[in-house]
């Protein structure tokens, strides 16, 4: 009788997480399969280093804007959130910081893509082309994602939703689609614009970005925008290295796989699944910490273990759904049983990594007095991206015998 009561209480306590989370993941997975087709098409571009720009840019949108969503969710929990763009407001500070970071890291990602192209190919493309593609794609996609982030926060606030359960999967999916589409547009534009115009655009944007960042950091007034940029910058620099690893793995490990388009189609959805589950967990941990409900202990508390169970339940619903929707899109490329086996086996390996990494990164952040909302999502997602990419390719290679 006690077991039945406890089970009933568990579902009553976590009904919102399970229902809203499942819906958000289903929407995100459906969108990511579309993004996967666009990614597979874009990877036909023979320029080496393009995968690095795609993977780093998409990941960076997730890191920056999902962290923004996490901060807005925490502000709703503690009662400081207002739908206002007044100077110094929570919403405006987060938008300013997110766009400044997006512009800064678009420049760095462009340089990284060019470096990778020189390391692994004899490409004659100059650095300015990669920077142009990254900055233009980053600026356009960043504008789209920030609008969606504001909409999710506004609707969540009006409807009294727990945005920790929906922000990460939806914003990550929107970020991936927007990034892939906008970088594709930037790639096409780079072929139409002259060398002089490309260099001029890159110079102007680079100067503007540096000036904006220096103005924010050198401000004498300690405000939320400055705090976010300062706390996030070094963390995101480290995260770019993981994005480069993901891009390199994607580009180099799939060279000898004949049906590599399967991996390209699945990869955005697969990465989103891992990042969404990790982001939902770390967002919840951030809110719990600010509310005084989370202590940095080596052994997880009962409340934390309950979050682990809900994560496994969400995965148990969303991974089969990913398998079903993938069958509709790429069944002609691979046997159905092989596809489902790949998704479920690789998926649950990643879920185990998500649970372990998310909790201990949150604990580490709290112990070193970092705000979990600023650093947990980018750091956890960086590890998850590498693990998920490598796991998907390895499991696919073993099961398909390539």
pLDDT surpassing 80 at residue 342: yes
pLDDT band of 296, cuts 50, 70, 90: confident
CA 364 to chain centre: 21
Report pLDDT for 347.
Answer: 93
pLDDT band of 134, cuts 50, 70, 90: confident
pLDDT band of 356, cuts 50, 70, 90: very high
Least confident of 242-246, 247-251, 281-285: 247-251
For 303-326, the pLDDT digits (tens) are 888 889 999 999 999 999 998 888
Instruction: Read off the pLDDT of each residue in 370-397 and give the average, rounded to a whole number.
Output: 85
Tokens 């015998």, residue located: 401
Kindly give the interhelix angle for 302-330 and 336-367, rounded to the nearest 10 degrees: 150
Judge whether 335 and 327 are in contact, CB under 8 Å.
Answer: no
Report pLDDT for 351.
Answer: 94
For 227-237, the pLDDT digits (tens) are 888 888 888 88
pLDDT band of 222, cuts 50, 70, 90: low
Distances (CA, A) of 313 to 30, 156, 308: 19, 23, 9
Report helix, strand or coil for 263.
helix
pLDDT surpassing 50 at residue 361: yes
pLDDT band of 256, cuts 50, 70, 90: low
Report pLDDT for 48.
Answer: 60
Report pLDDT for 355.
Answer: 92
For 149-198, the pLDDT digits (tens) are 888 888 887 887 777 777 878 888 888 888 888 888 888 888 888 777 77
Cα–Cα distance measured from residue 391 to residue 176, given in angstroms and rounded to the nearest whole number: 20
CB neighbours of residue 203 within 10 Å: 12
Kindly give the interhelix angle for 2-42 and 260-290, rounded to the nearest 10 degrees: 130
Least confident of 28-32, 205-209, 393-397: 205-209
Instruction: Read off the pLDDT of each residue in 103-109 and give the average, rounded to a whole number.
Output: 86
Percent of the chain with pLDDT over 70: 91
Report pLDDT for 3.
Answer: 45
Tokens of 252: 């180099």
Q: What is the CA radius of gyration of the chain?
A: 21
Tokens of 196: 């002089």
pLDDT surpassing 90 at residue 348: yes
The CB-side HSE value for 99 (13 A sphere, CA atoms) comes to 15
Instruction: Read off the pLDDT of each residue in 4-10 and give the average, rounded to a whole number.
Output: 68
Kindly tell me the sign of the dihedral angle through the C-alpha atoms of 209, 104, 282, 163: positive
pLDDT surpassing 90 at residue 32: no
Cα–Cα distance measured from residue 330 to residue 318, given in angstroms and rounded to the nearest whole number: 18
pLDDT top residue among 375 and 278: 278
pLDDT band of 41, cuts 50, 70, 90: confident
Tokens of 278: 């990790």
DSSP H helical segments within 121-223, as ranges?
127-159, 167-192, 195-217
Report pLDDT for 122.
Answer: 58
DSSP 8-state symbol, 392? H
Q: Is 317 left (phi over 0), alpha (psi -120 to 50) or beta?
A: alpha
Kindly list the domain boundaries of the chain, sorted by start residue.
2-400
Task: Please provide the average confidence, as pLDDT, over all residues in the chain.
Answer: 81
Report pLDDT for 2.
Answer: 46
């Amino acid at each position: 009788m006690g077991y039945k009561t406890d089970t009933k209480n568990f579902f009553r306590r976590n009904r919102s997480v399970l229902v809203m989370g499942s819906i958000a993941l289903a929407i995100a997975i459906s969108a990511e399969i579309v993004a996967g087709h666009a990614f597979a098409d874009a990877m036909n571009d023979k320029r080496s280093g393009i995968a690095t720009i795609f993977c780093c840019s998409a990941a960076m949108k997730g890191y920056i804007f999902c962290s923004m969503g996490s901060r807005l969710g925490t502000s709703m929990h503690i009662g400081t959130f207002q739908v206002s763009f007044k100077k110094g407001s929570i919403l405006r500070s987060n938008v300013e910081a997110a766009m400044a970071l997006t512009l800064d890291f678009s420049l760095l990602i462009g340089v990284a893509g060019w470096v990778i192209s020189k390391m692994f190919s004899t490409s004659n493309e100059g650095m300015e082309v990669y920077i142009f593609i990254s900055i233009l794609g980053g600026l356009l996609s960043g504008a789209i994602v920030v609008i969606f982030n504001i909409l999710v926060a506004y609707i969540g606030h009006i409807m009294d939703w727990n945005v920790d359960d929906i922000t990460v999967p939806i914003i990550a999916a929107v970020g991936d689609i927007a990034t892939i589409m906008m970088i594709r547009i930037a790639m096409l534009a780079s072929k139409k614009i002259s060398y002089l115009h490309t260099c001029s655009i890159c110079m102007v944007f680079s100067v503007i970005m540096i000036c904006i960042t220096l103005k924010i950091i050198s401000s004498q007034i300690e405000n939320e925008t400055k705090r976010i940029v300062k706390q996030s910058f070094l963390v995101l620099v480290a995260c770019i290295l993981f994005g480069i690893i993901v891009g390199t793995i994607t580009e180099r490990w799939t060279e000898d796989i004949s049906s590599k388009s399967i991996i390209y189609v699945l990869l955005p959805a697969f990465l989103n699944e891992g990042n969404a589950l990790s982001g939902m967990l770390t967002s919840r941990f951030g809110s719990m910490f600010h509310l005084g409900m989370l202590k940095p202990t080596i052994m997880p508390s009962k409340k934390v273990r309950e979050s682990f169970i809900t994560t496994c339940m969400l995965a148990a619903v969303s991974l089969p759904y990913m398998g079903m929707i993938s069958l509709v899109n790429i069944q002609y490329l691979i046997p159905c049983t092989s596809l489902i086996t790949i998704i479920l086996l690789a998926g649950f390996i990643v879920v185990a990594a998500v649970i372990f990494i998310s909790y201990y990164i949150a604990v580490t952040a709290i112990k070193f007095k970092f705000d979990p909302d600023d650093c947990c999502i980018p750091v956890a997602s960086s590890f998850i991206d590498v693990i998920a990419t490598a796991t998907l390719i390895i499991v696919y290679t073993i099961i398909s015998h390539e």
